[in-house]
A and B are shown apart, each in its own frame.
Chain A
């Protein structure tokens, strides 16, 4: 009898262990930003004093090393004003900011990677427009043109501004293989196509283009379509497309898909052909740039891709890889459009201390500490590029700074069922040959929520 009870207890214990293992505690990192840091001169015009001791919370998505570097950028402000600024991050920022707003636990400032969510939350909370606390015209002139458009409502109110830039219109080439072969950086799409042909006739493969990304497979392809939409038709058509005023099954969008097909559909143009496009990981596919001899010579991807390069390449970026602006299309939009992204700051709780922090974040010298540590690009045209530790970063910054119009990732701005759904799967079905271009375009239009 006692043995039976013991056995029962053992089972119960095992079950409880299981339950404990499942119900893992998720500890939110709430360490504050006031650790060590270089003592630099204060850059805010505010004469501290009166705001000392006030606390301001910044809530954002980036974590780990990035969060620490972000905290370092706040040190000069904290030293100059005495404001107790803390940066809190959450891996589930998107859902958490929504619940915090609904629950009334609102941070003073939040950094949004998604402009759509920023506008939703600004609308929901009645947030303070930027023009209430900053000189909007001066800010607009300081930023890369078009950056504020993403955080502007339909009636023209600007709610947020960028505190970090990500550049997507980047064309990567391996060094020294690219130069050794005698190739030149293309200035137009026509030159790019001529370069492809030359690489093929030299017996090489021009492009590394992997799209595989688990359940998110397809986003690399949507980035390509966006890049080509901007180059073919310019920002106005692009915006209309984002808002579904121009449907997918239209001559404009079809032209972008067809332009892209010229690239992945051309024999010998892409490593592994269309199977390679869909089967190779977006990160792994860059390995082929750095083989000996190089398996491919061209790659288009955002600045984050350096983190996926082989370790020895990352250690000495500048002697292994170079980056240039993904060229414009002759006969298309005249100008240098750039596809980009960034973290956008929104003032949610309007206090004098929070305003002082926002003013500090909007300065064109903000972020020097992070820029010199690496991995951060300023959204301000006038930022001192010499601060960046690598030539690659200086060039990436220049791609952004030289742009005459900047646009956010369209798929991020489209409704979820399209932007993270049918647009992605449409790319996969189309390239994989499961569905024709006609079927794909009309099915994306059908999936657009009414």
Chain B
């Protein structure tokens, strides 16, 4: 009950407060002499958002950079020690290999499956198209923790001789094999591959929806012209459709890549980073919350940030390109 009251109060206070704030700012700007009023109006509206972003994003980012040069309690300067420790850690190499596997496989697979779904669904009657797309999109509605729990049951293992309630082992033993403890199989990073399949499963829907709308935006006359010239369907796809949605593909690719670099929840739920499945973001959580080594945790975050900045820049550029093409 008290939660309900808090919820209602938050809605009334939050929405009402925002309306009041903007109403007040706009009233203030209105009072100003003509030229100033016009000049300041955009800032009156964008100002609060800028303020929030700097308080909740810019400040913490700068602070993380500072903390990464401080000791575990963020009290005295230690120079580059945190970075040195990070690099010297023998398990870092294994972690980075996993991150690279994630970054290579997940975005490409999502785009490939998403594109295939989008193109194929485009040819279905409207009703079947929307049903099939909804099904593929549905995992997007599940949180990563929820999705991981579902897949935990798919990969579930029990000793030989017991009922195998895991789907994969039910099939595997159905072929006469001994049940395999999938998540412990680190040869050829099999377990990491099994984990990243979860992300592909969850993110393909996103890729499909965005790419599908881009495909539908491809002007019909270009396709028609190609058909009249006798192009095959696969030629049309590779030479007419794909070049026209290139920037959308880039946006989807970079968006998923950013999500993949940050991946933490799937690993945390499935293996906790054990059995050589650790990823960089999970190490950050361990350092911060389990070991309370703020310096080390900040160094990991700064490392992640540095890796991600070029991808984000590319993402924004592609997005602009895409907007301009419209």
Contact = CB atoms under 8 A, between A and B. Distances in A.
14 contacts: A16-B15, A24-B3, A25-B3, A215-B273, A278-B181, A278-B184, A416-B290, A420-B291, A425-B274, A429-B274, A432-B184, A432-B186, A434-B186, A434-B275
A421 interface: yes
Closest A-B pairs by Cβ, 5 of them: A272-B159, A215-B272, A20-B10, A16-B14, A20-B7
Interface string A110-150: 00000000000000000000000000000000000000000
Interface in A162-208: none
Contacts of B268: 215
Contact of A276 (B3, B159, B293): B159
B292 to A, nearest CB: 6
Contact residues of A: prevailing secondary structure:
helix
A23 B10 contact: yes
A242 B277 CA distance: 29
Interface in A277-308: 278-280
B145 to A, nearest CB: 12
B181 A275 contact: yes
B134 interface: no
Contacts of B159: 271-273, 275-276, 280
A81 interface: no
Interface string A259-271: 0000000000001
B130 interface: no
B184 A417 contact: no
Contacts of B286: 421
B294 interface: no
A13 to B, nearest CB: 6
A432 B274 contact: yes
Contact of B91 (A21, A23, A443, A449): A443
B11 interface: yes
B18 interface: yes
Given A23-B10, A416-B292, A434-B276, A275 B184 contact: yes
Contact of A19 (B10, B160, B272, B292): B10
B76 interface: no
Interface string A415-440: 11100110001001100101000000
Contacts of A276: 159
B90 A446 contact: yes
B290 A420 contact: yes
Given A20-B7, A417-B291, A13 B184 contact: no
A48 B289 CA distance: 45
B253 interface: no
A378 B183 CA distance: 41
Interface string B286-315: 100011110000000000000000000000
Given A215-B273, A420-B291, A434-B276, A9 B181 contact: no
Contact of B2 (A27, A280, A434): A27
A94 B154 CA distance: 36
Interface of A: 9, 12-13, 15-17, 19-21, 23-25, 27, 214-218, 271-273, 275-276, 278-280, 415-417, 420-421, 425, 428-429, 432, 434, 443, 446, 449
Given A17-B7, A275-B181, A443-B90, A428 B157 contact: no
A15 B11 CA distance: 9
Given A24-B3, A279-B184, 19 more contacts: A12-B18, A15-B14, A16-B10, A16-B11, A20-B6, A20-B11, A25-B6, A214-B272, A272-B158, A272-B159, A273-B159, A275-B181, A275-B184, A278-B275, A279-B183, A425-B273, A428-B275, A432-B186, A443-B91
Given A275-B157, A278-B184, A432-B186, A416 B291 contact: yes
Nearest to A213: B272
Contacts of A16: 10-11, 14-15
Contacts of B72: 449
Which of A215, A218, A272, A449 has the most CB atoms of chain B within a 10 A radius of its CB? A215
Contacts of A421: 286, 290-291
Contacts of B291: 415-417, 420-421
Nearest to B81: A450
A185 to B, nearest CB: 26
Contacts of A23: 10
A347 to B, nearest CB: 26
Contacts of B3: 24-25
Nearest to A415: B291
B15 A9 contact: yes
A24 to B, nearest CB: 7
Contacts of B275: 278, 428-429, 432, 434
A304 B272 CA distance: 23
Contacts of A214: 269, 272
Nearest to A420: B290
Which of A272, A280, A421 has the most CB atoms of chain B within a 10 A radius of its CB? A272
Interface in B167-191: 181, 183-184, 186
